Structure 1
Amino acid sequence: MPETTPDQPGDAPDPGLARLNALSKEDLRTELAQCLNVDRWVEAVASEAPYSDRETLLARADGHARGITSDEVATALARHPRIGEKAKGQDTESAWSRGEQSAFAADTDDASARVQRIFTFAQGEYEGRFGQIYLVCASGRSSRELLADLVARLDNDRDTELTVVGEELRKISGLRLVKLLEAA
């Protein structure tokens, strides 16, 4: 049987995974909290380290992110800026947030500016209806797409909306976990 080398596909070392696996549990928890600020999720993902491969980490993290509770939604929302507001701070999580929302303000033509003003109004309606900020996985989505999503979600009842927000948090955590792995 031929020997495998690290240069063969599938056998190449994953520096991002190696970096995460080498972290202390405390440092790993800190890194993971940037992806999803839910203590149960952070503890569950950290407790299963070290991970044998990236796919296992991503699958386990995704599994633990499913079923986020309404209390966990409230905690996680506290760290997210409103769509259209730039995240303050120089930390990694703030930089990720600015990048995830970059498409929202990318278009500066008059029509896009109108969409953004309408969005701001609808966002206020959402906050009045649900008592929380509107959260969506905004990565790569235009202001028009986000407005359509926001308007559609205004028809949700409270329980449905909490489920939707939990799903959006799950998507965001997956994207951010990949970014964490790529940061090595």
Structure 2
Amino acid sequence: METKNMMEFKEEELMACCGSRIFAEEMEKACPFPSLEEAIVAARDIWFNKVNVNGWLQAFSVHPQIGHSPPSSSLSTFAQWSKGEQSTALSTATSSSLQELSEWNARYEEKFGFVFLICASGRSTEEILAELKIRYPNRPIVEFEIAAGEQMKITELRLAKLFSTKTKASSTGDQYSEAISKKAEDRMSIIGGHLAAALESSVGKTYQRPTRTRPPITTHVLDVSRGSPGAGIEVWLEAWKGPQPRPIFGDPDMNGWVIQGSSFTDNDGRSGQLMSIVDAVNPGIYRISFNTGKYCPGGFFPYVSIVFEIRESQKLEHFHVPLLLSPFSFTTYRGS
């Protein structure tokens, strides 16, 4: 592997891919990258594991509303890319569909506190509007994680653009010329549709599967009564190893639980590492328990346990099992 193939990026270049300053700083530290695939693996790790809530909100805040093209006078790379990504939506829009989209954008932002975020590349106005209506009923914490996932899709596409532009520039010696930018944009019409498949194919050949950057089971706690992360809560992860294949409801002999790891939630409500980072998690029944009684002494729950099953067909997937807690109620869901 030759040094000339290693890609270096500056913080401001990376800010065009994702508007989070923390993300850009961490990506610059992780440079150089030998390939787009390795840059994307690093980006996912940084975005989901190192960028905090404020960093996510900062990234969301720089996006224009879907259907609102950035000012034509703007010369920033971010603005130009954003305009290109919305080109299909804008070209398929009618005055009535744009009006309806604007109204729904306003309703969404009023409910959730941030702009509706979707990877708009190649999507029509009708498709985007339909997705907005589907996501609008979501609980805020659920929608927040969906928006973070959409931001990651956008970031991946823009990293591909950045790689494409830099690769061409280094081979011609004419950095960011108009012709190169046009060619890079043309290539992205193909990359945008097939990036996920290309990554899966290339990584499958080289590494069999992307190496995990976090344990396969994670959690976080949100204190919905305060509207803030639940920090300092003790968390245990256990696996069922009893004589029966699975715990039986109502069986008083529940001594088959074996602890896998424990930690305390940090200031963002995220747990520390609860198990080893492995590519394939053992299928079976798992239990995450939270010491909610110590966190909220006057609450109704001395502790909360969430039991779930990982099947053989799911052993390569990631399981994020958060706790949304108040003194007198709690809920959970499978996140990403």
Q: Same fold by TM-score, threshold 0.5 exceeded?
A: yes
Structure 1 residues 14 and 182 mapped into 2: Cα distance closer, same or farther (>3 Å)? Answer: farther
What's the RMSD between the two structures over aligned residues?
A: 2.2
Instruction: Indicate which of 113, 132, 148 corresponds to 1:150.
Output: 132
Which deviates more from structure 2 when the two are superposed, residues 113-122 or residues 158-167?
Answer: 113-122
Kept after mapping to 2: 8 A contact 1:69/1:166:
no
Q: TM-score, normalised by structure 1?
A: 0.79
Structure 1 residues 93 and 147 mapped into 2: Cα distance closer, same or farther (>3 Å)? Answer: same
Q: Which structure has the highest strand share of the two?
A: 2
Equivalents in 1 of 2:35, 2:154: separation in Å? 21
CA deviation string 1:96-146 (max 9, x = no partner): 0000111111125xxx44332221111111112112211111111111110
What is the CA distance between 1:147 and its match in structure 2? 0.6
Equivalents in 1 of 2:112, 2:90: separation in Å? 24
Report the equivalent of 1:6: none
Equivalents in 1 of 2:160, 2:65: separation in Å? 23
What is the CA distance between 1:54 and its match in structure 2? 2.5
Equivalents in 2 of 1:142, 1:119: separation in Å? 12
Report SS of the residue matched to 1:83. Answer: coil
What is the CA distance between 1:14 and its match in structure 2? 11
Report SS of the residue matched to 1:84. Answer: coil
Report the equivalent of 1:74: 57
Considering only CA atoms, is the larger Rg found in Structure 1 or Structure 2? 2
Equivalents in 1 of 2:102, 2:95: separation in Å? 11
CA deviation string 1:36-90 (max 9, x = no partner): 1222321221112112223211221122222554322221122111111111311
Which deviates more from structure 2 when the two are superposed, residues 135-144 or residues 71-80?
Answer: 71-80
Q: Which structure has the highest helix share of the two?
A: 1
Equivalents in 1 of 2:46, 2:54: separation in Å? 15
Report the equivalent of 1:42: 24
Report the equivalent of 1:136: 118
Aligned pairs (5 A) from 1:1-184: 18=6, 20-21=7-8, 28-67=10-49, 69-88=52-71, 89-107=74-92, 112-184=94-166
Kept after mapping to 1: 8 A contact 2:120/2:128:
yes
**Percent of aligned positions that are identical:** 28
Report SS of the residue matched to 1:80. Answer: coil
Q: TM-score, normalised by structure 2?
A: 0.45
Moved >4 Å (runs of 4+): none
Report the equivalent of 1:3: none
The amino acid of 2:109's aligned partner reads E
Report the equivalent of 2:236: none
Report SS of the residue matched to 2:92. Answer: coil
Equivalents in 1 of 2:99, 2:158: separation in Å? 28
Kept after mapping to 1: 8 A contact 2:36/2:159:
no
Equivalents in 1 of 2:152, 2:96: separation in Å? 30
Give the number of equivalent residue pairs: 163
Report SS of the residue matched to 1:74. Answer: helix
Relative contact order (alpha carbons < 8 A, sep ≥ 6): 1 or 2 greater? 1
Report SS of the residue matched to 2:98. Answer: helix
Q: Point out where structure 1 has 5 or more consecutive residues left out of the alignment.
A: 1-10
Equivalents in 1 of 2:160, 2:44: separation in Å? 12
